[in-house]
Amino acid sequence: MVAGNVDIADVDDLIDAFADRFRKRLRAIAREVYGQEALARRGWLDQSESDLKPRKHIEAVRRRMAEGLPGAKQDGRRYLLSPEAISEELGKKHPMKKTQADGESDPVAELDKALARVGR
Structural domain boundaries in the chain = 1-42, 43-94
Give the burial class of 46: count Cβ atoms within 10 A of its Cβ; 0-12 exposed, 13-18 middle, 19 or more buried: buried
**What pTM, to 2 d.p., does this model score?**
0.47
Angle between the 54-67 and 83-91 helix axes, to the nearest 10 degrees?
A: 100
pLDDT tens digits for 9-63?
A: 788 889 989 988 998 888 777 777 766 666 665 778 889 888 898 999 999 999 9
End-to-end CA distance of the chain: 107
User: Tens of pLDDT along 69-90?
Assistant: 999 999 889 999 998 999 999 8
C-alpha closest to that of 58 among 43, 37, 73 = 73
Give every CB contact of residue 63 below 8 A, 6+ residues apart in sequence. 69
